[in-house]
Chains A and B, each alone.
Chain A
Amino acid sequence: MEVKILSAKFDIEDSHKLEIAKQHGAYATIDKLFAMKPEEVIEEVKNSGLRGRGGAGFPAGVKWGFLPKGTGKPVYLAVNSDESEPATFKDRYILVKDPHMMIEGIIICSYAIGSHDTYIYIRGEYTSQVKALQAAIDEAYEAGYLGKTVAGHDFKLEVTVHRGAGAYVCGEETGLLESIEGKKGQPRAKPPFPAVSGLYGCPTIINNVQSIASLPFILEKGAEAYKAYGTEKSSGTHLFGISGHVEKPGMYELPLGLPLLEVVEKVAGGVWKGRKLKGVIPGGSSTPVLTPEEAKTVTLDYESMAEHKTMFGSGGIVVLDETVDMVKLVENLIYFYHHESCGQCTPCREGLGWMLKIIKKVVRGEGEMSDIDLLSELCDNIEMKTVCVLSAACTMPVRSYLTKFRHEFDAYVSEGASTAAANQE
């Protein structure tokens, strides 16, 4: 089931080094790129159907098309390497194993959108990863792929790495821009969208690492070759991270559209310890959970996930075995999002705090039935009433657990904490 498009060089020794990467085709598209018009590059990417791999799944070429023309201002590219959505661990493989594929993608994107300055925003916790990335960038500068010209072509391109310092919200695109500007990572109200007014008030494109790293293949082999992978509407391949209760957790590149349960069985070795499946989180902790019944019919693409009232998200699949206590899992989730709230919207800052207090009370066995209803009500009152969707990233999954596993919450109230917890095991 696995394919090797983005991960083609991952198993090659020293593939992060320019020389080795070049032997395996790195920077092969540069001459072809500069022979094309920028609009043609955008068209090719649109035709490939590549969708943003940061979680929202917005078509990449379409986003680039939103840039206003002739503003006289510089255009910036920000590469989102914050990788902070729980259960997401894919981009760092690109940063460490094949950084030149991403740098080549940056060149392609920059040329297409007419940008001469890229900022790569990398989460602060990625200490060794940032070193690997910087070393690759230094090599690319020395070899003349970056700097005053790009491989001899009259195109200036500067790439700067900007380190975050521990804030999930800086993965949100405008929180990320604020952070580059030297501020707290508090997301901006939209519109204006970053394509119109982004970094330093200039037109800015923000793309995920994996989206950018997908570009060299598309340019080299063509949109049709990319579309040969995946489904009609969800084209290409994706680096999926499978974690939780499976025998072989890890990062696997797969074409989109495969049946979820088959992937869990065949690729990740199935539910560990011979246990039964209780649920699957399909695309990072902010995506609504699927029951085993729902998981039977879902496939790993944007459309199927939407039909199952969840989201493709960031490809971070979490498998939950029969022993998982969903009430405590929800406590863990709410704690995370509350902790990471940037604090500027009252419904998010106070609402998630209130939800955390209630769920803790339930976990202690001091909850009442009305508390469970209050949790759902809070979800409704918080969602879509805030500047960014961090709050919804909490309320959407929480609501899914409350509806699909309601009996577990009720049990905590009616049977008391110890019995309810014991029954989960």
Chain B
Amino acid sequence: MSDRSQLISTGEPFKFDQERDTEFERLIKRYPERESMILPALWLTQEQEGWISAEAIAYIADRIGTFASKVFECATFYTMYHLHPMGKYHICVCRTLSCWLRDKQAIVDYLKDEIGIEPGQKSEDGKFSLEEVECLGHCGTAPVVQINGEFHEEMDVEKLKALLAELN
């Protein structure tokens, strides 16, 4: 999202829960070098917490046996890692070519009006966050929206209204 420069501290120690711990141990055997676990560990963290805190970065580095700066580097380079909490519903609208040709802007404008936030922002009640993202690989069913990772294809304002009503 827009501000990806700052790490936030929760003040609480971080560690993987049992499920993630098992998955971490399964995966690490798959790679000849431990640093290959940086991306998978960031994913496990985000699945568990929804975002990646300063404590999580330190934990991952420690667990893998690498520098926190290397983990931080990946956490900031890759756009899908969140360095602060997103809304309960994180809405991604594809802004790229095929979706643009099929009026993705109507979707963005509607969301802006309805939720009252700009792409890159989170609503005050913490319910929604909005992001414009690049091609999601579903161009034949454009325009495309992803909410908490789930694809919604051939979107228009009507469908979006119904979808938001369901979420509310």
Mark A residues whose CB is within 8 Å of B.
Answer: 83-89, 92, 123-128, 158, 160, 162-168, 179-185, 200, 241-245, 249-251, 281, 285, 316, 318, 320, 324, 329, 332-333, 335-336, 339-340, 342
Contact = CB atoms under 8 A, between A and B. Distances in A.
Contacts of B139: 86-89, 241, 243, 249, 316, 318
26 contacts: A83-B137, A84-B134, A84-B135, A88-B135, A123-B137, A124-B43, A125-B80, A125-B149, A127-B149, A160-B31, A162-B39, A163-B39, A163-B43, A165-B42, A167-B77, A167-B79, A182-B35, A182-B74, A184-B77, A241-B139, A243-B98, A244-B102, A332-B95, A333-B97, A336-B134, A342-B77
B44 to A, nearest CB: 10
A86 B79 contact: no
B50 to A, nearest CB: 14
Interface stretch (B108-116, B140-148, B160-168): B140-148
B139 to A, nearest CB: 4
B78 A166 contact: yes
Contacts of A184: 73-74, 77
B135 A244 contact: no
A125 B137 contact: yes
B54 interface: no
A84 B70 CA distance: 25
Interface size class of B (residues with CB under 8 A): 35 or more
Contacts of A162: 36, 39-40
A182 B37 CA distance: 6
A146 B93 CA distance: 38
Interface of B: 27, 30-33, 35-40, 42-43, 66, 70, 73-74, 77-81, 95-98, 100-102, 133-142, 146, 149-151
A329 B39 contact: no
Nearest to B66: A182
A286 to B, nearest CB: 11
A333 to B, nearest CB: 7
B35 A181 contact: yes
Contacts of A181: 33, 35-36
Contacts of B136: 125
B70 A182 contact: yes
B31 to A, nearest CB: 8
Contact of A332 (B40, B97, B133): B97
A88 B30 CA distance: 30
A168 B98 CA distance: 16
B137 A126 contact: yes
A166 B133 contact: yes
A332 B137 contact: no
Nearest to B32: A200
Contacts of B37: 182
A148 B150 CA distance: 35
Given A162-B40, A168-B134, A244 B101 contact: yes
Most buried by A among B40, B77, B95, B136: B77
A320 B27 CA distance: 45
A60 B106 CA distance: 43
A235 B141 CA distance: 28
A23 to B, nearest CB: 29
Contacts of B98: 86-87, 243-244, 318
B101 A183 contact: no
Contacts of A245: 101-102
B79 A324 contact: no
Given A87-B139, A160-B30, 13 more contacts: A86-B97, A125-B80, A125-B137, A125-B149, A166-B78, A168-B134, A182-B37, A243-B139, A244-B102, A245-B101, A249-B142, A318-B101, A332-B96
Nearest to B27: A160
A297 B5 CA distance: 50
B96 to A, nearest CB: 5
A123 B38 CA distance: 16
Given A127-B149, A200-B32, A185 B77 contact: yes
Contact of A165 (B30, B31, B39, B137): B39
Contacts of A128: 149-151
Contacts of A89: 137-140
A87 B78 contact: no
Contacts of A166: 78-81, 133
Contact of A125 (B31, B95, B146): B146
A335 B94 CA distance: 13
Given A86-B96, A164-B78, A318-B97, A250 B133 contact: no
A249 B101 CA distance: 12
A87 B134 CA distance: 11
Contacts of A249: 139-142
A273 B42 CA distance: 46
Given A88-B137, A125-B136, A166-B133, A182 B36 contact: yes
A101 to B, nearest CB: 19
Contacts of B77: 167, 184-185, 342
